[in-house]
Chain A
Amino acid sequence: MANNSLVSIANLTGEQLKYLLAMGREFEKRPNRKILDGKLVATLFFEPSTRTRLSFETAANRLGARVIGFTDPKVTSSTKGETLKDTIMMVSNYADVIVMRHYLEGAALWASEVSPVPIVNAGDGSNQHPSQTLLDLYTILQTQGRLDNLNICIVGDLKYGRTVHSLIMAMRHFNPKFKFVSPKELPLPEEYKDYCREHHIDFTECEQFDEDIIADADILYMTRVQRERFTDLMEYEKVKDVYILQRKMLGKARENMKILHPLPRVNEIAQDVDDDPHAYYFQQAKNGLYMREAILCNVLGITLDDIVADK
């Protein structure tokens, strides 16, 4: 890779992750700057994702960059059969960095191999979504004051949950203890359990979800159990209400425990949890802005020192 793209979380070292988080911290202190003045950011969304696109475009705008792009591939040449490579080569003539979301797995890596400008992966199919993982890490650090030696309880669809898989990979540097809570139809895939074993990550698995399971967690990471993931709808009916977090389940929770969720939420966190001091998913989403500001700067060669020196 000739350029400074961000495609995957898997290859970043613990130091690189902490460096990006430190950049995010500077943007939390002061999100509005002119540090990308004169730069042009392209956001190419080959599949719609309003939330991620708005977050990246807000990050670009708050740093003084201008934004071009498309939100609906139906209006672009890809429906005429243009290859991804051709689209990337064309847009790289105009933009300094390309933020892309694509429905195909590996699309961002391929784009980074052909593009003369950096690529930021804003999600490629069920493969990688590094900016989500970085904002998750940032939120964990922000709420716990550290990343090391934390108990992290992850609940819901662990089979298809891309954010879950990336979070496990990113946390490997920080000696976590995981508790994986899922219906038996949606367990963590064997390859990620192997990954944990290879990296000496402590984990347990269970199907039961109640206040005792949550009691020793520092982070409770909720994900949605989606109906369409079940081949047997009877099974879905059996478990659909089991993995809903209710406020009454928080009685034994540690004081420092925070509830995270990649959003959008449907019903897996009851509305009454929103007012509980453990709830943190809306602040978590806000952190996406700071981390995406950090990502854009990093791929464009702006260092932490540059940001600290920018008054």
Chain B
Amino acid sequence: MSKQLQVAALRNGTVIDHIPNEKLQEVEHLLQLDKLPDSSIMIGYNLDSEQMGHKSLIKVSNHYFSKEELDTLCIAIPDATLSIVKDYEVVEKRSFEMPTELTDIVACSNPMCITNNEPMRTRFHYLSDKHALKCHYCGKEVDVNHVKFAK
């Protein structure tokens, strides 16, 4: 089945494409796909891809993810693409751009940071020149490729 057909087969929902195969499980976990009882979910693994050789893809019907949920994917799968489908049409297609600020997505790596010792939301600022995240509270910087998720 071609990619176009797979996307077109969805009436309403979200398609996340160009997921590296090894990231598929992580993405399933981050989006908590097991907690969407009203959605049909199709997962394609090891599909042929011109750009990537092989890729994975997730289609979720009747569900649009929140900004916070999608922000987690900026870190996990920065090169993937997101399509929003409404009435069989792709109404929005974009890559995952890193936001300037991430709220409650990443955990601080500093054990002495207040965010690791108090029930509160984490906040990080994205430093594009270093491709790093800086903790709003303790100031500790961490490379985006080495972050831990808050949940």
Interface residues of A (CB under 8 A from B): 83-85, 102-107, 109-110, 124-127, 191
Contact = CB atoms under 8 A, between A and B. Distances in A.
Contact of A105 (B119, B120, B139, B141): B139
B76 interface: no
B58 to A, nearest CB: 36
A106 B141 contact: no
Interface string B117-151: 11110000000000000011111110000000000
B137 A103 contact: no
B74 to A, nearest CB: 23
Given A106-B137, A106-B138, A191-B141, A125 B119 contact: no
9 contacts: A84-B114, A104-B112, A104-B113, A109-B114, A110-B115, A110-B118, A110-B137, A126-B112, A191-B141
A125 B120 contact: no
Contact of B112 (A83, A110, A125, A191): A125
A103 B117 CA distance: 11
Contacts of A84: 114, 118
B117 A104 contact: yes
Contact of B115 (A103, A106, A124, A191): A106
Looking at chain A's contact residues, the main secondary structure is: mixed
Given A105-B114, A106-B139, 20 more contacts: A83-B118, A83-B119, A84-B118, A85-B120, A102-B114, A104-B112, A104-B113, A104-B117, A105-B113, A105-B139, A105-B140, A106-B113, A106-B114, A106-B115, A107-B114, A109-B137, A110-B137, A125-B112, A125-B138, A191-B141
A126 B110 CA distance: 11
Contacts of B117: 104
B123 to A, nearest CB: 10
A106 B113 CA distance: 6
B109 to A, nearest CB: 12
A248 B120 CA distance: 54
B139 A127 contact: yes
Interface in B62-117: 110, 112-115, 117
A207 B110 CA distance: 29
B138 A105 contact: yes
A-B pairs with the 4 shortest C-beta distances?
A: A106-B137, A105-B138, A106-B114, A106-B138
B118 A85 contact: yes
B29 to A, nearest CB: 28
Nearest to A191: B141
Contacts of A110: 114-115, 118, 120, 137
Contacts of A105: 110, 112-114, 137-140
A109 B118 contact: no
A311 B139 CA distance: 42
A179 to B, nearest CB: 25
Contacts of B119: 83
Contacts of A125: 112, 138
A124 B115 CA distance: 13
Nearest to B140: A105
B89 to A, nearest CB: 43
Contacts of A103: 112
A84 B141 CA distance: 24
B116 to A, nearest CB: 8
Contacts of A124: 114
Of A85, A103, A127, A191, most buried by chain B (CB within 10 Å of CB) is A127
Interface in B20-59: none
A124 B112 CA distance: 10
A125 B113 CA distance: 9
Contacts of B138: 105-106, 125, 127
A126 B138 CA distance: 9
B114 A104 contact: yes
A104 B115 CA distance: 9
Contacts of B140: 105
Nearest to A127: B138
A130 to B, nearest CB: 14
A261 to B, nearest CB: 25
Contacts of B115: 106, 110
Contacts of A104: 112-114, 117-118
